[in-house]
Amino acid sequence: MNRTENQMLIIFGASGDLTARKLIPAIFNLALGGHLPENFVVLGTSRSDISDEEFRRNVVSESEHLEDDLNGKKKKVVEKFSGQLFYHKLNSDKDSGYAALKDRIISLNQEFHTDNNYIFYLSTPPSVYEPIAKELYEQDLHKEDKGWKRLIVEKPFGYSLKTAKELNRALQRYFKESQIYRIDHYLGKETVQNLLVTRFSNSIFEPLWNRNYIHHVEITNAESVGVEKRGGYYDKSGALRDMFQSHLLQIVALVVMEPPLNASPEEIRNEKLKALKSLRVMEDEKTLHENTMRAQYIASTIEGKAVNGYREEENVDPNSKTETFAALKFFVDNWRWADVPFYVRTAKRMPTKVTEVVIHFKSPHHQIFKDSGMNSKDNKLIIRIQPDEGILIKFGVKVPGQGFKVERANLDFYYSSLVENHIMEAYERLLLDAMQGDPTLYARADEVEAAWTFVDPILEYWKNSDEKVYGYSAGTWGPETADDLIEGSAGWRNPGAQLADDPNYCVIC
């Protein structure tokens, strides 16, 4: 196991939601698991004028996000943890603001012996990533002559290929690429990492993992929630930017990539980059029209409760064309995947929360059993990212009795059956990796740009064309026409709340 050196975590945007909701609970769990180094301090900073004590109250003792974790914990444990948290109000005065922050960092470093090792976590709006990096640079807080320095940035990483490139270049002016950690919380999920292990630590899947045996690949990411309180952000983003460009393309890369030479961060990321670069970019209008689909949820009643349509949500333009559902069909131009269609969809306000990858295998090339509906009985490998994490293989078995009637049976594996220990939450895992200097599960600049290269033309097309925005009732699996995207098959597999549920689960009725 890697060593975690003494260090300080400096969080920008410390009075914001992400800090209380994700970061502090993740650090608390790391503390409980004994993963923090002996000397460790968190310094939260933002423009809000609060004291150390108030910060501790907000994010620990009175935080609704830590309530359950604190229950039953000894007072001493909680007090020790709180005592490691500090707060500094960042003065808006350009000249004194960052100098004073630096003084505070130096004094905490001296007092708590954090060995000049600093992680700067930018949990702020993306518009200030560059200014913060610049200020840190001007204060020499990027220099690694004494201790290492790392910069973690949250998504969205850019708004388009152009802005992502600009942001990369800007951050790289002040920090080296090896110091920059671009967080994608899906890579922190055990089941996403398990895609690599399933593929490359077994000899039963990889020989079949190609165009000779795979008919198509389907990825569904569904959320039952709507845009909640994030209408302002979401309306400028949409499903394709919010989920597909980052999280889902990372999953696609792990499904598509070639085996890396070894498990080092650079080898894995090199292969992911190659995978992303092999996605066929859709360029002409005909291809874009035929292979992309967008939609928005409309008001409905779910389990007896009325829910708003997207355009009625807070801070959403009543005439908005922003998609809350996006579905794509695309190809991967390389030796392994030639002519295998990939279908990916993501949406809010679907019947259930689920993310899964389905590998649909081809029918046996010589059909001996002429049972009806054999096509729908083709083998499937379902890798369930969340929830009810696990893997399911669908295969044909003989129905007892005369003749050869074939039925589909399940071979399943559930993560829950393995779990003896606490499974780290995505943020916990990713923070610990950054604390140990392991960037494997962070996106590199070139990966992010390759992902935008694929997504950009779709966004441009949607923005500048009359491509329809379909409506779908909140709580359903999206517009019916989405099934037309999938050629010659029964359409999307609509998974249920549990891994082994049969498809077409719906809560609206």
Question: Residue 184 or 449: which CB sits closer to ligand BG6?
Answer: 184
- Which residue blocks in 177-315 are alpha helix, DSSP H? 190-200, 231-237, 239, 249-256, 265-277, 285-291
Q: Is 52 exposed, middle or buried (0-12, 13-18, 19+ CB in 10 A)?
A: middle
Distance CA(229)–CA(423), nearest Å, equals 29
104 and 133 in contact (C-beta within 8 Å)? no
Closest contact distance (angstroms) between CB of 242 and ligand BG6 is 5
H or E stretch covering 122 = strand 118-122
Closest contact distance (angstroms) between CB of 447 and ligand BG6 is 16
Question: Residue 242 or 433: which CB sits closer to ligand BG6?
Answer: 242
Query: In this structure, which amino acid lies at residue 32?
Result: L
Distance CA(142)–CA(133), nearest Å, equals 9
Question: Residue 18 or 170: which CB sits closer to ligand BG6?
Answer: 18
Closest contact distance (angstroms) between CB of 177 and ligand BG6 is 23
Question: Residue 354 or 392: which CB sits closer to ligand BG6?
Answer: 354
Question: Residue 223 or 389: which CB sits closer to ligand BG6?
Answer: 223
Closest contact distance (angstroms) between CB of 223 and ligand BG6 is 5
Could you tell me the two tokens for 237? 């983003």
350 and 222 in contact (C-beta within 8 Å)? yes
**Residue 351, preceding peptide bond in cis (omega within 30° of 0):** no
Closest contact distance (angstroms) between CB of 100 and ligand BG6 is 33
Closest contact distance (angstroms) between CB of 302 and ligand BG6 is 17
Q: Which residues pair with 330 in a beta bridge?
A: 342
Could you tell me the two tokens for 275? 């995978």
Q: What is the CA radius of gyration of the chain?
A: 24
Query: In this structure, which amino acid lies at residue 267?
Result: E
Q: Give 280's contacts (C-beta < 8 A, 6+ positions apart).
A: 330, 331, 332, 333
| Cα distance from N-terminal residue to C-terminal residue, the chain | 50
Marked catalytic residue, from 247, 289, 366, 422 = 247
Distance CA(198)–CA(203), nearest Å, equals 9
Residues of this chain that bind ligand BG6 (CB under 6 A): 223, 242
Closest contact distance (angstroms) between CB of 226 and ligand BG6 is 10
- Per residue, what are the HEC states of 191-209? HHHHHHHHHHCCCCCHHHC
Using CA atoms, how far residue 504 sits from 64, 226, 499, in Å, is 35, 20, 13
C-alpha angle 209/214/217, rounded to 5°?
95
Q: Is 323 exposed, middle or buried (0-12, 13-18, 19+ CB in 10 A)?
A: buried
Distance CA(247)–CA(219), nearest Å, equals 12
Closest contact distance (angstroms) between CB of 307 and ligand BG6 is 16
H or E stretch covering 103 = helix 94-112
Q: Which of 397, 425, 423, 390 is nearest to 495 (CA)?
A: 390
247 given a catalytic annotation: yes
Distance CA(54)–CA(45), nearest Å, equals 13
The residues carrying an active-site annotation are 247
